[in-house]
Amino acid sequence: MVERMFDTATAVVTALDRVNARVGGAQRQMLGLIVQVDRSDAWRDDGARDLAHWLGMRYGVSGWKARRWVAAAHALEELPAVSHALSTGTLGLDKVVELTRLATPGSEAALLQWAQRVSCGAIRRRAERDAHPAIETDRDAHQDRFLRWWRMDEDRRVGLEGEFPAHQGERIISALSRTADTIPQMPGEEGPWCVDARRADALDALCAARIATDPDPDRATVVVHALADGLTDGSGGAEVEGGTPLHPDVVHRLLCNARVQTVIEDEAGDAVRFGRMRREPSTAMLRQVRYRDRECVFPGCGTTAFTEVHHVIFWSAGGRTDLDNLALICSFHHRLVHELGWQLTRSRQGGARWFRPDGTRYRAGPAPETGAGHPARSNPRSAATPVTWVRDDRSALVGVP
C-alpha cells in the first residue's frame, strides 16, 4: 500500500513537472508574440495608450505586470540562456521577468545559476539595487536659482526656463518623472522621442491638481470665452482670457473640467450664460460619481489616475449636470472622445458603451470567434448608427439611433 501511494505521488509530481515545462514554453512563446505585436503596432486603434495598457485591457493583467512583460519580452531576445530556462520550465516567469532587468549576454550564465538557488524576492531586490545609481552630490546653487516664463507666437505658446540647486532639481525631476510615467500617452506620442512632451504634460497635471484644490476660486480659475454659434457648428471663435485661440473640440473637453469657467457669448460679445456656475458638479455629486464608477469606464482600462468627470451628452450641447449624464474617464480617453472621434453612451442600466470613430462598437478582450484580431463587432445597424442619448418627458436618458 505504501509503495503504491509512493508511486502515485511520484507520478503526480512528474506530471506536474511536465505541465510546468509546457506552461513555460507557452509563456516564452507569449513573450515572443508580445514583441511581434509591439513591432507591428497591432495594438493601436483599440483605445490603448501603449502596448502595456493594451495587454492589461485585453488579457486582464495589472498595468505593472504588463509593463514588466513588455520589458522582459524585448530583453529575452538578447538572453538565450534565460530564454531557454523559461521555455523548459527551469525558471518560472516571475523569476525570469526580474532576471531580465539585470542580466546581460555576458553575465546571464552566472546569474542563471544564482537565480535557481534564491527566491524571486531576492532577484527583485538585486534588480532594484542595481537599477538605481547613487544620486550625484548636491551643490550649493541657492543664490543662482531662478524660474522665468514668457509668451510667444502671438500668445499661442508659453516658454519656461529655470535653474535650481541639485537638491531642489532632483525633487522636481522625481515628481515630474513619476507623474509622466502615469500620464496616458496620446496616439502618435508613444516613442522615446516624446519624453519631453510627457514631461510637459506632467507639469501641467501637477499644476492642475494644485489649482483644483485652491480655496480661492477667482484666482485659480482659467476663463475661456466662446461664441455660442461657434461651439454648435464647429466654426470656432473661442479663446482663453488673454487672447489665445482654441479649437472648438478643445473647448468641449475643457467644459468637462473643474476650475475652467466658460463664458458663452453672442456675436455682439454679450454673455449669454456662464458655464462654470451651471456646469461644474457639486462636491457631493463628484464624490458620488467617483464612488459609483471608481475607475475609468473605458472597457478594461481601470486606471484611477488623472480621471475626470465627463458629460456623456456634452454640456455645451444641452447635457445636464446630472448623475446619469456623468461618467468617470481618464484624461487619455477623455481626449479620444472630444478630439479623436470616439463616442461614449450610457445604457438605461447605467453601463458605458464605447464606439470607435467609424461607428463600430468597441469591446475589450480577445475576439470570441478566433481569439485574435479585433473583438467581435455589434450588428451592422447598431455599429453604423451610434446611439445618441436624449431625454424624454420624465428627464430619463433614452437611446435613439
Clarify whether residues 64 and 126 are in a common domain: yes
Select from 155, 157, 156, 184 the least CA-distant residue to 340.
184
Q: Is residue 110 part of a domain?
A: yes
- Dist. CA 69–CA 86, nearest whole Å: 13
Q: Look at residue 123 in the predicted model and tell me its pLDDT.
A: 92
Q: Is residue 292 part of a domain?
A: no
Clarify whether residues 345 and 391 are in a common domain: yes
Q: Is residue 286 part of a domain?
A: no
For CA atoms 338, 342, 348, 351, give the dihedral sign.
Answer: negative
For CA atoms 73, 79, 80, 84, give the dihedral sign.
Answer: negative
Q: Is residue 13 part of a domain?
A: yes
Select from 20, 13, 35 the least CA-distant residue to 92.
20
Q: Look at residue 282 in the predicted model and tell me its pLDDT.
A: 73
In 60-182, alpha helices (H): 63-75, 80-87, 93-99, 108-117, 120-131, 166-182
Q: Look at residue 267 in the predicted model and tell me its pLDDT.
A: 58
Clarify whether residues 67 and 183 are in a common domain: no
Q: Look at residue 179 in the predicted model and tell me its pLDDT.
A: 83
With residues binned 3-state (H G I as helix, E B as strand, rest as coil), the percentages for the chain, rounded to 5, are 50, 15, 35
Clarify whether residues 125 and 42 are in a common domain: yes
Select from 299, 296, 293 the least CA-distant residue to 363.
299
Clarify whether residues 13 and 106 are in a common domain: yes
What DSSP assignment string belongs to 149-205? Answer: EEEETTTTEEEEEEE--HHHHHHHHHHHHHHHHHSPPPTT--SGGGHHHHHHHHHHH
Select from 302, 272, 103 the least CA-distant residue to 184.
302
Q: Look at residue 107 in the predicted model and tell me its pLDDT.
A: 92
Length of the chain: 401
Q: How many CB atoms lie within 10 A of CB 70?
A: 20
Q: One digit per residue, pLDDT tens: the chain, 401 residues?
A: 556 655 788 889 999 999 999 999 999 999 999 999 999 999 988 888 889 999 999 999 888 899 999 999 999 999 999 999 999 999 999 999 999 999 999 999 999 999 999 999 899 888 877 765 433 334 455 677 888 888 877 777 888 888 887 667 888 888 888 888 877 666 666 666 678 888 888 888 888 777 666 655 444 455 666 655 555 555 555 665 555 566 666 666 665 554 555 565 655 555 545 444 445 677 778 888 888 888 889 988 888 877 888 888 876 677 777 888 889 998 888 888 888 889 898 877 778 899 999 989 988 777 654 444 444 444 333 333 333 333 333 333 333 33
β-pairing verdict for 222-227 and 260-265: parallel
Residue where one domain finishes, among candidates 174, 191, 212:
212
Provide the whole-model pTM.
Answer: 0.55
Select from 128, 341, 159 the least CA-distant residue to 249.
341
Q: How many CB atoms lie within 10 A of CB 289?
A: 18
N-term to C-term CA, the chain:
72
Q: Is residue 290 part of a domain?
A: no
Clarify whether residues 6 and 106 are in a common domain: yes
Q: Look at residue 390 in the predicted model and tell me its pLDDT.
A: 38
Block residue for cell numbers 439611433: 401
Q: Look at residue 255 in the predicted model and tell me its pLDDT.
A: 59
Clarify whether residues 371 and 274 are in a common domain: no
Q: Is residue 194 part of a domain?
A: yes
Q: Is residue 299 part of a domain?
A: no
Clarify whether residues 107 and 151 are in a common domain: no
Clarify whether residues 149 and 195 are in a common domain: yes
Residue where one domain finishes, among candidates 246, 280, 314:
280
Number of domains observed in the structure of the chain: 4
Block residue for cell numbers 507623474: 179
Clarify whether residues 22 and 118 are in a common domain: yes
Structural domain boundaries enclosing 260:
221-280
CA angle 156, 338, 364 (to 5 degrees): 135
Clarify whether residues 166 and 74 are in a common domain: no
Identify the bridge partners of residue 107 per DSSP, sorted by sequence position.
none
Q: Is residue 294 part of a domain?
A: no
Clarify whether residues 267 and 363 are in a common domain: no
